[in-house]
Amino acid sequence: MSLILFSKQISVPMVEVFKTDVYEEGQADSLVCQLLQHFPDSKINFDLDDCDKILRVEGLNFLAEKVMRLLEENGFTCRLLV
């Protein structure tokens, strides 16, 4: 008799939080649109009321490095909060 084990792969979304220097709602909206083009299945939002001007990205398939690079290419600073 042989024992066969099946494992179900469960995908758990990851959440990354970034400190930015995005201060204006219009800038945040534009950046969210750009980020969603690269990560369409992610939830992306800014908290501009927070002193760190937080960017949150939640999803299964995104790279923190690419998020930071996209903001930097648009003239903003962005670093991962740990």
The verdict on residue 4 lying in a domain is no
- DSSP assignment letter at 73: H
pLDDT in tens, the chain (82 residues): 666 666 566 677 899 999 999 999 999 999 999 999 999 999 999 999 999 999 999 999 899 999 999 999 999 999 999 8
- Residue 68 makes CB contacts below 8 A (sequence gap 6+) with 18, 78, 79, 80
CA–centroid distance for 3 within its chain: 41
pTM, entire model: 0.85
The CATH number of whichever domain residue 32 belongs to comes to 3.30.70.100
Which pLDDT score is estimated for 82? 87
| Distance in angstroms (rounded) separating the CA atoms of residues 27 and 53 | 12
How many structural domains are present in the chain?
A: 1
The verdict on residue 65 lying in a domain is yes
| Distance in angstroms (rounded) separating the CA atoms of residues 39 and 62 | 6
Structural domain containing residue 29? 14-80
The verdict on residue 71 lying in a domain is yes
